[in-house]
Structure 1
Amino acid sequence: MPPGLRLVEADLVEQLGVSRGSVRLAIDVLVAERLVERFPNKGARVRVVSLEEAVEITECRMPLEALLARKAAERVTGAEADRLRAHLHTMAGAVDSGDVLKYGELIQQLHGMVGEAARHAVAADLVGKLQAQLVRHQFRLSLRPGRARVSLGELTELVAAITDRDPDRADAAAVAHFRSVIAALSEPHPDPGGPA
């Protein structure tokens, strides 16, 4: 649902086929996760995350992702390393074909795979909560010309460090990637015309 969309309980009940109580409970959970805002006497709406807040969220996410990368390099199995390499190959194919939407989905899957290999549930859960607030900004960032290729190079180094079982290098690669994301988010750039 796009940021700013008003959430009408009756519409959600009909659309989702659940009870009004279930909808209210779900909205309460989304409010607690900062994905939805509730306004007295006006209802709820999907929360709008400003660019400045997106940068701050990414700054918070960076050390958690570095921890996950470090732990993944320490704990990755041979089968997980093979899956990471194969996934990276799929990501390269998406970039080569210009399918930035697919590439964006594959990035999220890659971060999930790193989180699984890390076997650090607390950090992975915190990253998931932060990530959910950034979807709109990540989508817009992925539409910028050349950004997917830059990102792919950074994530290739991350996967190489993890599969080489080099925790220091994996940590550094994760930090470098998220610093690059922060720099790209901070650059003035015209709206690429994607959904808001």
Structure 2
Amino acid sequence: MSRPTEVTYDYIKQRIMEGDYKPSQKLNESELSEVIGVSRNTVKKALLKLEQENLVLIETNKGARIKSFSLEEIINYLEIRETLEGLIAKTAAPHMTEERLLLLEETFEQMKGHLENNRFDEYSKCNQTFHAIIYEASTNQQAVEMVNKIKNQLKRLQIKTILIPGRTQDSLKEHQKVLNAMKSHDGNWAEDAIKHHIAQVRKALAENYTFLV
């Protein structure tokens, strides 16, 4: 991917992830070309890459629009993610070094601080870091690649779960259990803890789907 295409791809993807573009919203190639300062051909290449990642849908004679997901699709993706995250956690726990555990605990404490001060954006970022530390310790990096693809597709929706009353407090408790499991180096405990967490995310999204989309 050329540098202009990469810049264009990153620009559009970031706006999708942050929810600036809404599900099913049309993307105007001419406007994007002007805003980003690249050719329309460059925009087309970036959109094709995003389509491969299932973030954009390109239709003949209709152009590109943001991919939308039905509740059934979201539930299916999260069921897959639950299984993958469980495998990742199980293979990561025995390999959590003291350095990684310290970093994991520091990240958890930051999450607590951000939640206490209603800094939800920062809480969300630390949440991503928390999971990334575990991913790095896993011996199954293929599972990590797969789960990251799923997270990319659902990130703009999952970020909104912080708006669900009580969800962030429950999420913090779930992360505490994951942290404790990682400290024990018990793969089965870690698997159960992370799968419970993802199951609760799935439950929250299912119960609040209309509110979040």
Fold match, TM over 0.5? yes
In the alignment, does 2:146 pair up with 1:126? yes
Change in CA separation of 1:69 and 1:46 when aligned onto 2, cut-off 3 Å: same
Amino acid at match of 2:176: T
Q: Of residues 185, 188, 195 in structure 2, which corresponds to 1:168?
A: 188
Please report the TM-score for the alignment, with normalisation by the length of structure 2. Answer: 0.84
Amino acid at match of 2:171: S
Question: RCO higher in 1 or 2 (8 Å CA, sep ≥ 6)?
Answer: 1
Alpha-carbon distance between aligned partners in 1 of 2:35 and 2:146, rounded to the nearest angstrom: 30
Change in CA separation of 1:24 and 1:151 when aligned onto 2, cut-off 3 Å: same
CA deviations on 1:103-126 (whole Å, 9 max, x unpaired) are: 222212211121112143211111
Where do 1:16-31 residues align within 5 Å?
Answer: 16-31=36-51
Amino acid at match of 1:186: A
Q: Of residues 144, 147, 157 in structure 1, which corresponds to 2:177?
A: 157
What SS does the corresponding residue of 2:94 show, helix, strand or coil? helix
Q: Of residues 59, 76, 84 in structure 2, which corresponds to 1:39?
A: 59
Residue 189 of structure 1, CA deviation:
6.9
Amino acid at match of 2:34: E
Q: Which runs of 5+ in 1 are unaligned?
A: none
Residue 99 of structure 1, CA deviation:
2.1
Change in CA separation of 1:188 and 1:15 when aligned onto 2, cut-off 3 Å: closer
Deviates more, 1:49-58 or 1:149-158: 49-58
Amino acid at match of 1:112: A
Q: In structure 1, what is the equivalent of residue 207 of structure 2?
A: 187
Alpha-carbon distance between aligned partners in 2 of 1:55 and 1:140, rounded to the nearest angstrom: 16
- Taking every aligned residue pair, what percent have the same amino acid on both sides? 33
What SS does the corresponding residue of 1:191 show, helix, strand or coil? helix
Residue 88 of structure 1, CA deviation:
0.4
Q: Which has the larger helix fraction?
A: 2
Residue 81 of structure 1, CA deviation:
0.9
Q: In structure 2, what is the equivalent of residue 111 of structure 1?
A: 131
Alpha-carbon distance between aligned partners in 2 of 1:78 and 1:41, rounded to the nearest angstrom: 56
Please report the TM-score for the alignment, with normalisation by the length of structure 1. Answer: 0.90
Alpha-carbon distance between aligned partners in 1 of 2:159 and 2:126, rounded to the nearest angstrom: 12
RMSD after superposition: 1.8
Alpha-carbon distance between aligned partners in 2 of 1:30 and 1:189, rounded to the nearest angstrom: 24
Q: Which runs of 5+ in 2 are unaligned?
A: 1-15
